[in-house]
């Protein structure tokens, strides 16, 4: 790789990263000025400077809570990924199973978290992380399942005809045509699921159980009128969700490096 190509690549990355940073900094400055000029009370909307002070003061507690919530989200995301990909593969292979599975998946996806978490807390021990991880698994299952199914079934007919003309077996068609076609769909679902996993893990912590995650600390701080501290844990949740999303993008670039290049053209 030449020096010129390295400079072009670095410039492209800078152009991709700089606008979100500028927008984010601008929003924080506007937020700070709005709170100061309008004299907004902290219990209505704390200033970013107050939230940052709480982050610095409670750094160790925030890191520990983020680690707990992140672990629950990762376990649930991996379980939902395995189940979603497996169910999508089976449904694409047997059409009647797909017709049976899709309505069930839609119905499960429509069930609100606030209805399932208390039930899972009663089914399992309140000192167990299983209810939260199970909730994350259910939430992320649907987008992964649907995108996997679409990717395995919406294949270019020309490619299938070509493989049949070569007398390729179903296994070869799956490996050479269907799986490569399904990978962009899968990562689209995974990017959605990665953010949903953090949301589900945080919200699931609102309804009892262990008091060691971000959601539990948000509820505890808000109930004690420590709104700056509550917003500090909310900010940690946002950072955790962004981290999950960027890791998914990095995995996509590693597994299907041609896909980002295709989108940039």
The structural domains of the chain, ordered by start, are 60-264 (1.10.3720.10)
Closest C-alpha among 45, 44, 47 to residue 32: 47
Structure pTM?
A: 0.85
Spell out the per-residue pLDDT of the chain, length 265, in tens: 555 544 545 555 666 677 778 888 899 899 999 998 888 888 888 999 999 999 999 999 999 999 999 999 999 999 999 999 999 888 888 877 777 888 888 887 787 777 788 888 888 877 788 889 999 999 999 999 999 998 888 877 777 777 777 667 677 777 777 888 889 999 999 999 999 999 999 998 888 777 788 999 999 898 888 889 999 999 999 999 999 999 999 999 898 887 654 444 4
CA 206, 212, 218 angle in degrees (round to 5)?
45
């Amino acid at each position: 790789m030449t020096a010129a190509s390295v400079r072009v690549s670095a410039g492209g990355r800078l152009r991709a990263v700089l606008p979100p940073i500028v927008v984010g900094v601008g929003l924080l400055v506007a937020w700070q000025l709005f709170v100061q000029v309008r004299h907004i009370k902290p219990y209505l909307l704390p200033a970013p400077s107050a939230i940052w002070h709480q982050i610095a003061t409670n750094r160790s507690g925030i890191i520990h809570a983020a680690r707990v919530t992140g672990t629950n989200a990762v376990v649930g995301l991996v379980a939902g990924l395995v189940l979603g990909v497996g169910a999508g593969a089976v449904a694409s292979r047997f059409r009647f199973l797909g017709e049976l599975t899709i309505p069930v998946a839609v119905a499960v996806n429509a069930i609100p978290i606030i209805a399932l978490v208390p039930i899972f807390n009663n089914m399992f021990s309140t000192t167990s992380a299983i209810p939260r991880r199970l909730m994350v698994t259910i939430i992320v299952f649907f987008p992964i399942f649907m995108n996997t199914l679409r990717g395995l079934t919406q294949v270019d007919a020309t490619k299938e005809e070509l493989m049949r003309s070569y007398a390729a077996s179903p296994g070869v068609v799956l490996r050479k045509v269907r799986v490569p076609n399904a990978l962009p769909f899968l990562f689209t679902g995974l990017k959605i699921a990665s953010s949903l996993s953090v949301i589900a893990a945080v919200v699931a912590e609102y309804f009892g159980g262990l008091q060691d995650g971000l959601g539990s600390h948000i509820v505890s701080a808000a109930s004690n009128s420590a709104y700056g501290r509550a917003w500090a844990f909310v900010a940690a949740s946002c950072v955790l969700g962004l981290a999950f999303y960027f890791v998914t993008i990095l995995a996509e670039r590693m597994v299907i490096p041609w896909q980002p290049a295709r989108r940039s053209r």
